[in-house]
Amino acid sequence: MFNATLEDIRELHPDTINETILYGTFGGGGLCRMFLLGRVSNWYPVIGRTLLFSALRLGMMGLQQAICGLKPLPYWMANPEARVRLSTANINLKRLPNLDEGLNVPEKLGLGSEVAGMLGLLWMGMVDRPIARQSFHTDVQDNILMELVSTTEVTVVPRQVFWGKSEMSQVSGQYYNVSLKPGEGIVIPSNFLHTVHHLHIDRLGVNYFFEPKFGAMQWANSIGNFYAENAKDNKEHLAMRALWFKSANVVWERYQRGISFHGWKMEIL
């Protein structure tokens, strides 16, 4: 998997590569998909799961494929100048099964009994420093980011630096700026603020997110851990998350269907 190139990925998946679509905000069409398909979602409470809803959904899905300009992976491989404008985009690793050969990351980390499901993504695209500075965000799941072919800078701000502070308040404290070389990775705990600065047009990285089983991975020493905080007064939410994630995994295993997530910025399988 390490030192893999886009050409390697194509050779590993000759039968499916031409149907492999990127997800993401810009090149992955996230904003366009939200505009078109989000409207269909709003109609569901009104008309229910009827033939009319199914017809509308199928029609809008075909329309977004044409209007949003969604391109398969070979297009981005053949057009490096387009990859410069791609920003970040991702593909669920279950659509590229020969890349990591079904690597069971939770088992390797000793978390097999703790994890209800795993989201594995292949990331690609460039992000320059100004955009990276504007792209700080948190992820609720503990996750691991590993670089495959080039150097990437990752900035991580521990939760205790800003936990309990208002959005407009000034904060100070220790943070980490790490340069990841091919084969290196970093653990990003739940709700730690972070951003990723991709330095190279051919950048590829893999990201594994771990959704806990109900009641698991609520680390006592992790300030602001999403699951530990919600366990205090919102256990129903955690139970539904675990059930939804496991259900999404079953939908993929039985029917090979994916579920768009985070406004069509990624896909749960």
- Residue 132: its pLDDT value, please? 60
* Residue 213's pLDDT band (cuts 50, 70, 90): very high
- Residue 214: its pLDDT value, please? 92
* Lowest-pLDDT choice from 109-113, 154-158, 163-167: 163-167
More confident position, 82 or 8: 8
Tell me the two tokens of residue 229.
């905080």
Tell me the two tokens of residue 150.
């080039």
Identity at 169, one-letter amino acid code: S
pTM for the whole thing?
0.86
- Residue 190: its pLDDT value, please? 94
In a domain, 52, yes or no: no
* Lowest-pLDDT choice from 16-20, 24-28, 88-92, 171-175: 24-28
In a domain, 186, yes or no: yes
In a domain, 74, yes or no: yes
- Residue 165: its pLDDT value, please? 72
Q: What's the number of domains the chain is made of?
A: 1
In a domain, 263, yes or no: yes
In a domain, 226, yes or no: yes
* Residue 84's pLDDT band (cuts 50, 70, 90): confident
Query: How far is it, in rounded angstroms, from Cα 261 to Cα 17?
Result: 22
Mean pLDDT within 141-156: 93
In a domain, 105, yes or no: yes
Centre a 10 Å sphere on the Cβ of residue 164 and count the other Cβ atoms it contains: 9
Identity at 210, one-letter amino acid code: F
Strand 204-212 with 142-147, pairing? antiparallel
In a domain, 56, yes or no: no
In a domain, 16, yes or no: yes
Residue 245 has pLDDT above 90, yes or no: no
Measured in degrees and rounded to the nearest 5, phi and psi for residue 76 equal -70, -30
Residue range(s) defining the domain that contains residue 150: 6-29+70-268
Residue 159 has pLDDT above 90, yes or no: no
Q: Which residues contact 32 (CB under 8 A, 6 or more apart)?
A: 64, 67, 68, 69
Query: How far is it, in rounded angstroms, from Cα 106 to Cα 113?
Result: 8
CATH number at residue 84: 2.60.120.10
